[in-house]
Amino acid sequence: LRQLFVLGFAGFMNIQPAFAANPLIMDQFTADPTARVFEGKIYVYPSHDIKAPPGYKGKPDWFVMEDYHVFSSDNLTDWKDHGMIVSQTGVEWADPTAYAMWAPDCVFKDGKYYFYFPAIAKPEEKSEGSNEKKRPEFRIGVAVADKPYGPFKPLPNYIQGVRGIDPNVLIDKDGTAYLYYSAGKIYVAKLKPNMTEIEGEPMVIDNLPTKGLLEGPFALERNGIYYLTYPHVENKIERLEYAMSSSPMGPFKQAGVILDEADSGCWTVHHSILDWQGQSYLFYHDKDLSPGFDKNRAIRADKLFFNPDGSIRKVIPTLR
Ligand code: FUB
C-alpha cells in the first residue's frame, strides 16, 4: 500500500520513485560511499564509522574513523568486503591517533588505481627551537594499487598545496584529472598526469551557496554537462544539491535539489552518482543501523533519473 501511494504521488509530482535493498552493508557501519565501476563490477569505497575504542581521547560524540574497507558487487545486493585497504597507522604523514579518515574516492588511470583520502596530518614543530605545535589540519593523501581492491600503497606524503577534506576526482574525456575537495568552500585543482600532485593553485568554485557548504563535493560529466553535486546545510541538516556547467572548473549554475534533508535527522549526506547497466544510482548514507547516533552510518543506493534537459529529478529514498 505504501509503495502504491509513493508511486501515485511520485507520478503526480513528476518525480521518479526507486526501490533498493537498503542499507547495503549490514555488518559494519559505512558512510560517504564513492561508487565506481571497475573491471565489470561495482566497487564502493566508503568511509568506516566505528564506536570509540577504549582510551579514545577525541571529541566526544563525533566521527571515529580509523581505516577504509572496499566492497564489490555485481548485482547491488550481494556485497563482498575485500577488507581493510588503508588505515591511519599505515600512512606515514597521518596522525595515527586522530581517527579522522573521512570521505575517500578512487579512480583508475593508466593502469593504476588511485585512492584519495583525507586525514589529519601529524602535528609538525612550528619552528626550530620551539615546542609549539601547529594546529591539527586535514590533508589529502593518495594510495596506489594495481587492482581496485588493493593492496594499496599509501604515498609517504600528502598532496602538497591542498588543505581540506572529502577529495573527489573527475577524469575528463581528454584524460585531464580534476581534484575537488572542501575547506569551508568547494575547491578544484587540476592534477598533474602523475595523479599525485596539483598543477598551479586550487581555485574556489564560485556561484554556489555562500554559506553551509561544509563537505562532500562529487563531480561528474554526462552528455557534455558537468555536474557538481554537494551537501548544503541551512537548518542543521544537509540536503543534496547540484549545479551545472559546460566546463569542469565552472562557472557553475545552481540547478536544484537531488535529495531532501533526511527524515531520520542524520545531518550528513555524503554521496556519489554511478551509472550501472544503463541506470543511474545515487549512493549516499543514513543512520539505519544506528537510529540514535548519526555518526554511525549505513550506506544506501537508490535510482536516480535525469530529465531530457539534463536536470536531475529528486531521488526518493527507500529502505528494505
Ligand atoms: O564522514 C565524515 C564526514 O562526514 C565526511 O567527510 C563528510 O562528508 C560527512 O559525511
Residues with CB under 6 A from ligand 1: 31-32, 47, 63, 102-103, 165-166, 215-216, 268, 270
How far lies 241's CA from each of 59, 209, 216, 245, 278, in Å?
A: 29, 10, 11, 14, 23
Ligand 1 atom having least distance to the Cα of 285? 10
What 8-state DSSP symbol labels residue 163? B
Q: Confirm if 220 and 203 have CB atoms less than 8 A apart.
A: no
Structure confidence by residue, pLDDT tens digits, 153-168: 999 999 999 999 999 9
Share above pLDDT 90 across residues of the chain, in percent, rounded to a whole number: 87
Compute the average pLDDT of residues 272-288. 97
Centre of ligand 1 from the C-alpha of residue 228, in Å = 17
Centre of ligand 1 from the C-alpha of residue 19, in Å = 25
Give the pairing of strands 138-145 and 186-191. Answer: unpaired
Residue 176 in this model has a pLDDT that exceeds 70: yes
Mean pLDDT, the chain, rounded, equals: 92
The answer to whether the pTM exceeds 0.90 is: yes
Lowest mean pLDDT among 123-127, 290-294, 303-307: 123-127
Peptide bond into 23 cis (omega under 30): yes
